[in-house]
Amino acid sequence: MPAHITIRDGSPYWWASTDIWVVPGADPNGAPGTPVAGQPAYLWAHAVNSGNTVANGTRIDFYWADPSAQVVVGTANPIGSAFVDLDLDPAGQDVLCLVPWVPVIVNGGHECLLAVAHSPGDSNPIPDPLPNGYVFDPPAHDQIAQRNITVLMASMLAAAMVISVRALPRQDKEAFISVEYGGELDQRQMALLGLDKLDLRPAPQRSVQVELSLEPVCGGKHRHGPDRGDSAGTGGGEAGRQGGQEQVLAVSMSKTYAAGSEVGGDETLEQEPGVVEDDMGAAGGAARPGGAAAGSGAVHSGEPEGADYGRHGGRGLRVNLRRGMAAAVYAAFSADGLRPGQYQLVHIIERSQGKVVGGVSYVVARPNPGQGEKK
């Protein structure tokens, strides 16, 4: 077969590729880590030629995007390109983008990264250039990988994370946003995130809570009370008292674990997320009007999903968008139960039309005293 270029996806969450990484600072050969908003960083990708012909002149394009589960051409921002001659070495090559990237202040520099390989002799090429509106779909293309995993320190959770949900230019979208908890980082992922020197271990039970909303919310200590999961979708709170004009859009994810049970395992890591569940869970009622985006033309409705969403999702947030429009989903984190020396993985996942279309993963960490905390 001719050349075939692969930039590997993450596993089991394909948006957490370890074939893309960031080196913060002015030295591209420095240690990988978390970028800092407003300060330069360099991007690397690892590419393999699994064909039987040398792939000379392979171009790898690097992009960043505001955190989004599903990213399309036109919403991602080009950073630069790198060229490499890929021989038949199965170990592949590390490729540096010589153009430095300066993360923006949105979400404190926690942006989504993509790497896309184009080779003139590829056995299954993707369009070059990629047309506007083209979906970056890493599971469907070996040449595309996405890195959408970031570190949140437990002491710095006051600001909610903002995640964009977008409809494609030519079709309306009904999306279901849910949260999964748990899992364990391997050594390479720990190193790429700059956590390998912090002596962290995964929390043995649910220690982090996330609240999703279409309205701005705050996170931080004591953000979620002990009964929050039971009342989130019941219409309580200030919004629910405003004569029915505003709907309560915030939903506390309430997936539970038996006392002392391990987080993850076949609960979240047995297979790719969402491969067996219907994207909307149990049948819901009519769409509710209102919400932060009511009247804007962008969102038909943003309603909390109260029914169980199978073993992966718990409760979630349903968002309806007209074609070409976007909405912001706010994720407020609290980590009251996370002990020093522990971390917990949190995955915010978007499903649409019966499949997972993308996600954003967060490592919520609380280092031991004296080890310091990085943003």
H-state helical runs in the chain: 187-192, 228-231, 237-240, 310-313
Q: What would the pLDDT profile of 16-31 be if each residue is shown by its tens digit? A: 999 999 999 999 999 9
Gap between the Cα atoms of 27 and 357, Å rounded: 35
Gap between the Cα atoms of 13 and 358, Å rounded: 9
For residue 175, what is the enclosing H or E element? strand 173-181
| Residue 361 tokens, joined | 């993963």
**Domains detected in the chain:** 5-147 (2.60.40), 153-366 (no CATH)
Comparing CA positions, the residue from 38, 97, 68, 73 lying closest to residue 166 is 68
Comparing CA positions, the residue from 340, 286, 341 lying closest to residue 318 is 286
231-232-235-241 Cα dihedral, nearest 10 degrees = 90
Q: What would the pLDDT profile of 211-254 be if each residue is shown by its tens digit? A: 999 998 876 554 544 434 333 333 333 333 333 222 223 332 22
DSSP type of residue 187: H
Q: Can you give the pLDDT at residue 111?
A: 87
pTM of the predicted model, to two decimals?
0.77
The residue written with tokens 């590729």 in the block is 17
> What is the average per-residue pLDDT within 251-268?
28
The residue written with tokens 């006392």 in the block is 259
> What is the average per-residue pLDDT within 297-322?
54
212 touches 253 (CB < 8 A): yes
From residue 321, how far is each of 71, 162, 167, 198, 318 by CA, in Å? Answer: 15, 17, 6, 42, 10
| Amino acid (1-letter code) at residue 263 | V
Tell me the three state secondary structure of residue 332: strand
Q: What would the pLDDT profile of 131-168 be if each residue is shown by its tens digit? A: 999 999 999 999 999 999 999 999 999 889 999 999 99
Gap between the Cα atoms of 313 and 310, Å rounded: 6
Q: What would the pLDDT profile of 79-97 be if each residue is shown by its tens digit? A: 999 999 999 999 999 999 9
351 touches 363 (CB < 8 A): no
Q: Can you give the pLDDT at residue 110?
A: 77
